[in-house]
A and B are shown apart, each in its own frame.
Chain A
């Protein structure tokens, strides 16, 4: 009985660190080799991830993407990717890695470049038919094509037999041979 009372007291007095708002990060320090690349979920345990414990609303993530900078965007999309995998989340996580590389937002830029290539490749490998929508939510854009183009732009090699072909209207489209 004494032990039970002790346990009750011990747990009822659960202390915690109080929450408050704070600035979003502007420099990337990857916590693991595959952070933000499906199926890795280590971003949820990254102490530098401001989204790891909190809930992110759909509207907020676009706000962060457009006005919070690529580092915050990467953490937001990677967090959502770890909580529920979709091609769109993987694509934007890779897109933000590419921006971090291009905007010099990390110390080891070469590692970020390689990381971005792996992120785009994950879109092709795991979510080859995924799409994203425009602001109206009605017009869909496939994600495979910009992923292939981004890998090429980053100097990487596209795996899985993907190539870019020219469509009848002169546009570009990624297809798998």
Chain B
């Protein structure tokens, strides 16, 4: 009966919203929560799986998964003595209540006040202007909305505003940087921030009088502005990284603010940057000392008396912190900022704060479902013992505190962590290990009708393929990985015969003695049964991070000053496997410390089609503007290509300089390029329409020109204006005949597909406007582009034996033999209209992996591009069956083209994601066949837990390979499909066991590859079909 009464009493208490307030008398300050003196033994808690970054949301996962995570983490935290966690307003109120009811842990809700951007009027604003009245009003409205959302929720203990927003006034990115020094104290931009806080405090109190309001300041910077503007502030919260002692922190708060103080973040990392090893004992010692100081500064201990607790930063390591978007599956040991308050690993002039190692628990052994194991570090056990002391007990004097904490020696607690960690990490610490394996077994059935040249091919065949990942880690800062491909048999009757396992040697003229095929290929070609599939090297050297790659993608440098696209990204997906390319193959060095402005990339083929080359970049960020200088030097000429789709580059040398300068809401980029001085003096042929009959009666006058120095120069300028609802950009280029750069791989405002060429020999103007109406965006985009020297027509040569006179012919230029050519820089007047519906702007709709990342229930876009092309272009390089690279005999004629694509994605639930496209258009083949192709099609993809379904239908479209478009090989109908079921949700790199079936069906006509026409049935269609069953196991 007694217990029933207690349960009823507890339930009655828990049914109401939590109330908290600060009490103050001459002995100091205390926080009372539901009437009880409470020291906030808090934790910055979050859940970020390995391989993900800030984009991951635990709260969008299934309830079962969330409960599994919370039961594990909150159980550990409660056992440790933690009584509060700090959360942002994305946590659903029901989970706040759940945590409180089940584990008695309070939640403080932290509204970031636009620290990392905010959506205002449906438009994502990345950098908030705290002085803008409209943006201030919107942030106040959002804070009030947050308060209304949570104030009645049991378990909510306090409101916090911001997260060291004062540092955001000086830092250039969202990554932690060195703490701003005294030079920023008078920063005029700080006043609007703190006056906004003041307004927010008063707005909160008008809506809720039962929870105190704090701010999360960056240390005590601008403390006088806080005193002046943050009237009504209940608690000064501060992110403090002052090492073992906060020194005068509590005294200053009392003297200047007269409010209690708490650390919203504090702690130490568990990595010794000097010794280059994990040091969980040192982390524990810092935290022990920090908590001892908090206890000593609490109410009634004879010191400042104003400490009410703190939130340890943080629960688990964040593997995404360094770089934030890259190396998400690497526990990076890069120290990203210096702090001499942590002397154990501080060396003057070097960084010592390891942002990815701040967890008091390590994470490891993550499963395919993104649930990882946690391994509490030494600090966990030390604080678990420390928290047993009640600071507000009558017997707890300052001497008792000192005795209690003085008896806690972190080294005594190290055994438990190290023992558990050693067992868990034993396999991981092996210097060489098999880190992954993928086995794929396929059996396929292929049939074709009589009008296909595959008609007599064998019908059944099979493929066995095994990939083994070998990882070597001689030191924590060097990791090498090699993927070996082993093939048993490679099917020889596939409809699409170019695939990775079917790797018969190709014969390239010049690379080896060549033969011209005169006999059919042998029935069972020799397969390379073992091959290196890919390799990767990562090393952290004292002055640079090194990334070596072979068939491993890398990003471009377009967002860090590469205004002319010299260093192209290399993510080619499955195409790499199709063509057995050796690219990308190279090395990237990213400077550190004093060399952090420098980057270098070099290698035999650092992106598809690249010559052996080296590219160096110096990029310096001044206060707001940046300056970039780059140089590229090709060291040899590539003589072959895997596919015509990558383009061929003559030997070149390039230098660029560019600046990026903000001007209010606009950004101005401008730069100049000098390229290919090696081609100065080279001859080229050009033509003009003749007034008379012209050269040899062709109607053209024909001339020989020579490349001049001025032809190596080019310039580009762009203005991008952020007007919130209306964002626009305009850019112009003048590019001399041979001033080739690379394509623009950046995205300005939205995902427009039409861009001006990065090639030389053209002048262009490009501009677009992005209009946002809530979730709907309208984005027109226009292009005018014209080559300086136009394409060459075909003029046949002529030899008159009687007179012995010869008239040379004229052919379209090509990049193999001529110093320049008109290709994607052809004359174009283009218009594009992009319409987007995305209820979550500022997220992932334009990410390459949006199928996996986009969080909207439904988002879609319709993109229509029309190109008026009044003149022809020059010749494309094509690859013949023997691998030789030759120019096409003709060039695409003048003709307009268009393409319209509707794309959509639906994240129906955490279990079900759907996406697809529908497209139609009219386009040209590349190698000169004048037949215009009017085509259409659709794709559909479904992922439901372990089930995946993917299908593509193409109508009157080109076949799957580049050469199909080169030579204008189309099919009346193509249908591809893949249905598979696995143990886990299909995800890149995840362990899985998957059984699936793939199919292809296509009809052939006279324009299709392999069509066999017959005189008695010239109009008959042929058909080809393939069904393939596969079993895939990966670990």
Q: Report A's interface with B, CB cutoff 8 A.
A: 3-4, 7-8, 10-12, 14-24, 39, 44, 50-51, 53-57, 60, 63-64, 67-68, 72, 83-87, 125-131
Contact A14–B806 (Cβ < 8 Å): no
| Chain A residues positioned under 8 Å from B518 (CB to CB) | 129, 131
| Chain A residues positioned under 8 Å from B711 (CB to CB) | 11
Contact B701–A68 (Cβ < 8 Å): no
What CA separation (Å) do A125 and B510 show in the bound complex?
Answer: 12
| Chain A residues positioned under 8 Å from B794 (CB to CB) | 55
What CA separation (Å) do A64 and B788 show in the bound complex?
Answer: 35
What CA separation (Å) do A7 and B808 show in the bound complex?
Answer: 31
Contact B695–A20 (Cβ < 8 Å): yes
Partner of B806, one of A3, A7, A15, A72: A72
Contact A54–B810 (Cβ < 8 Å): yes
With A7-B710, A55-B809, A64-B799 as contacts: A19 and B702 at CB distance below 8 Å? yes
What CA separation (Å) do A98 and B715 show in the bound complex?
Answer: 53
Partner of A83, one of B686, B799, B817: B817
Contact A85–B734 (Cβ < 8 Å): no
| Chain A residues positioned under 8 Å from B683 (CB to CB) | 53
Contact A11–B788 (Cβ < 8 Å): yes
Name the distance in Å between A125's Cβ and chain B's nearest Cβ.
7
Across the A-B interface, the 9 shortest Cβ-Cβ residue pairs: A54-B808, A16-B703, A55-B811, A55-B809, A16-B705, A19-B702, A67-B801, A21-B807, A21-B805
Contact A19–B797 (Cβ < 8 Å): no
11 contacts between A and B (CB under 8 A): A4-B734, A18-B703, A21-B805, A24-B804, A24-B806, A53-B808, A54-B808, A57-B796, A85-B510, A85-B514, A126-B514
* Chain A residue at minimum C-beta to C-beta distance from B732: A4
Partner of A4, one of B696, B715, B789: B715
What CA separation (Å) do A133 and B763 show in the bound complex?
Answer: 48
Q: Check if B169 is an interface residue, CB within 8 A of chain A.
A: no
What CA separation (Å) do A11 and B820 show in the bound complex?
Answer: 14
What CA separation (Å) do A154 and B795 show in the bound complex?
Answer: 39
Contact B704–A16 (Cβ < 8 Å): yes
Contact A63–B801 (Cβ < 8 Å): yes
What CA separation (Å) do A39 and B510 show in the bound complex?
Answer: 7
Contact B704–A17 (Cβ < 8 Å): yes
| Chain B residues positioned under 8 Å from A131 (CB to CB) | 518
Interface residues of B in 808-831 (CB under 8 A from A): 808-811, 817
Q: Mark B493-508, 1 if CB is under 8 A from A, else 0.
A: 0000000000000000
* Chain B residue at minimum C-beta to C-beta distance from A160: B513
What CA separation (Å) do A32 and B736 show in the bound complex?
Answer: 32
Q: Check if B884 is an interface residue, CB within 8 A of chain A.
A: yes
* Chain A residue at minimum C-beta to C-beta distance from B795: A55
Partner of B734, one of A8, A21, A56, A68: A8
Partner of A53, one of B685, B710, B800: B685
Contact B804–A68 (Cβ < 8 Å): yes
Name the distance in Å between B82's Cβ and chain A's nearest Cβ.
63
Partner of B515, one of A3, A53, A129: A129
Since A23-B805, A54-B811, A126-B514 are in contact, a sample of 5 more A-B pairs with Cβ atoms closer than 8 Å, ordered by chain A residue number, is A16-B704, A19-B685, A20-B695, A21-B696, A55-B797
| Chain B residues positioned under 8 Å from A56 (CB to CB) | 797, 808-809
Partner of B884, one of A12, A51, A54, A85: A85
Contact A8–B763 (Cβ < 8 Å): yes
Contact B817–A63 (Cβ < 8 Å): no
Contact A60–B798 (Cβ < 8 Å): yes
What CA separation (Å) do A103 and B509 show in the bound complex?
Answer: 33
Q: Which of A3, A53, A60, A131 has the most CB of B within 10 A?
A: A53
Partner of A23, one of B706, B806, B809: B806
Contact A64–B789 (Cβ < 8 Å): no
What CA separation (Å) do A26 and B685 show in the bound complex?
Answer: 25
Contact B805–A125 (Cβ < 8 Å): no
* Chain A residue at minimum C-beta to C-beta distance from B808: A54
Name the distance in Å between B274's Cβ and chain A's nearest Cβ.
51
Partner of B705, one of A15, A24, A54, A86: A15
| Chain A residues positioned under 8 Å from B705 (CB to CB) | 14-17
Name the distance in Å between B797's Cβ and chain A's nearest Cβ.
5
With A14-B686, A54-B808, A127-B516 as contacts: A19 and B763 at CB distance below 8 Å? no
| Chain A residues positioned under 8 Å from B804 (CB to CB) | 23-24, 68
Name the distance in Å between B508's Cβ and chain A's nearest Cβ.
11
Interface residues of B in 640-687 (CB under 8 A from A): 683, 685-686
Partner of B799, one of A7, A68, A128, A130: A68
Name the distance in Å between A85's Cβ and chain B's nearest Cβ.
5
What CA separation (Å) do A83 and B811 show in the bound complex?
Answer: 13
Name the distance in Å between A160's Cβ and chain B's nearest Cβ.
10
What CA separation (Å) do A147 and B686 show in the bound complex?
Answer: 39
Partner of B797, one of A22, A23, A54, A87: A54
Contact A21–B789 (Cβ < 8 Å): no
Contact B516–A86 (Cβ < 8 Å): yes
Q: Check if B737 is an interface residue, CB within 8 A of chain A.
A: yes
Contact A50–B789 (Cβ < 8 Å): no
What CA separation (Å) do A24 and B696 show in the bound complex?
Answer: 16
Contact B509–A44 (Cβ < 8 Å): no
Contact A85–B509 (Cβ < 8 Å): yes
Contact B704–A19 (Cβ < 8 Å): yes
* Chain A residue at minimum C-beta to C-beta distance from B695: A19
* Chain B residue at minimum C-beta to C-beta distance from A15: B705
| Chain B residues positioned under 8 Å from A16 (CB to CB) | 686, 703-706
Name the distance in Å between A90's Cβ and chain B's nearest Cβ.
11
Name the distance in Å between A16's Cβ and chain B's nearest Cβ.
3
| Chain A residues positioned under 8 Å from B797 (CB to CB) | 54-57, 60
What CA separation (Å) do A83 and B884 show in the bound complex?
Answer: 11
What CA separation (Å) do A23 and B805 show in the bound complex?
Answer: 4
What CA separation (Å) do A111 and B796 show in the bound complex?
Answer: 34
Name the distance in Å between A95's Cβ and chain B's nearest Cβ.
18
* Chain A residue at minimum C-beta to C-beta distance from B807: A21
| Chain B residues positioned under 8 Å from A50 (CB to CB) | 806, 808
Name the distance in Å between B791's Cβ and chain A's nearest Cβ.
14
What CA separation (Å) do A4 and B717 show in the bound complex?
Answer: 11
Q: Check if B539 is an interface residue, CB within 8 A of chain A.
A: no
* Chain B residue at minimum C-beta to C-beta distance from A63: B799
Q: Check if B886 is an interface residue, CB within 8 A of chain A.
A: yes
Name the distance in Å between B690's Cβ and chain A's nearest Cβ.
10
Name the distance in Å between B952's Cβ and chain A's nearest Cβ.
36
* Chain B residue at minimum C-beta to C-beta distance from A51: B808
Q: Check if B713 is an interface residue, CB within 8 A of chain A.
A: yes
What CA separation (Å) do A128 and B516 show in the bound complex?
Answer: 9
What CA separation (Å) do A127 and B798 show in the bound complex?
Answer: 30
Contact A130–B695 (Cβ < 8 Å): no
